[in-house]
Amino acid sequence: MREGGWEVWTIRRALDASLKRLQTDYIDLYQFHHVDRATPWDEIWQAMEVAVQQGKILYAGSSNFAGWHIAQAQATAEKRNYTGLVSEQSIYNLIVRDVEREVLPAAQEYGLGVIPWSPLQGGLLGGVLRKENEGVRRLEGRAKETVEKLRPQIEQYEAFADDLGHAPGDVALAWLLHQPAVTGPIVGPRTMEQLESAVRAVDVKLDDKALARLDEIFPGYKTAPEDYAW
């Protein structure tokens, strides 16, 4: 069996093992966590079609794909008259906005919902300076270096959040919910306070002026090729 066929068999075996561990009959969203450069999309979609027919998954999504990966996957799925990807999980927040060049436009074009991970960039957008000043959080190593590098921007950001009357973390999550194609960020709360903050963000409304100010503090990108060739 050549490498591609072996990988498809591996997908089926891994899926069965996941269902057993989760003690469930099916998975709502089965995500490809990284791009498989060795297996043709025809074979990957064949494996997914069988999984859907068997009732083991409902939909397939991607994670950490480039825009052209999404286009390639969807083009092959269309030839097979298959739904293809329904979502893309990418790192996306006010500080890290690279997906705005090509991933977000691709997701919009093909109807994928975007699920941002690390929406607070490791806590940098969650009031890190305030917590440091209050002695709630002590920064060391790479985290301290990153904060020092971004300190002027983070100071402006936390001050602006205060002006808006919201916690910095609430504003960061609300900003994501205002972005095209974003379905909902992955919040991963460790405490009830963090969960309540994530829920509050749904009700935070940012007008055009507020969104423009956030873009001034943390500049984003235009779509490609306008971002670098115009």
Q: What is the pLDDT of residues 156-205, one digit of tens each?
A: 999 999 999 999 999 999 999 999 899 999 988 888 887 887 888 899 99
Distances (CA, A) of 41 to 34, 74, 84, 195, 200: 13, 9, 10, 38, 40
> What's the confidence (pLDDT) of residue 3?
44
Instruction: Please determine, for residue 5, whether its predicted confidence score (pLDDT) is greater than 60.
Output: no
Query: CA nearest 87: which of 29, 37, 146?
Result: 29
Contact 60, 86 (CB under 8 A): yes
CA dihedral of 86, 91, 94, 99, whole degrees rounded to 10: -60
| Residue 88: pLDDT band with limits 50, 70, 90 | very high
Question: Residue 140 has what pLDDT?
Answer: 65
230 pLDDT higher than 80: no
The pLDDT score that the predictor gives to residue 190 is 81
Mean of all residue pLDDT scores within the chain: 91
Q: What is the C-alpha R_g of the chain?
A: 20
Q: Model confidence over 11-36: pLDDT tens digits?
A: 888 899 999 999 999 999 999 988 88
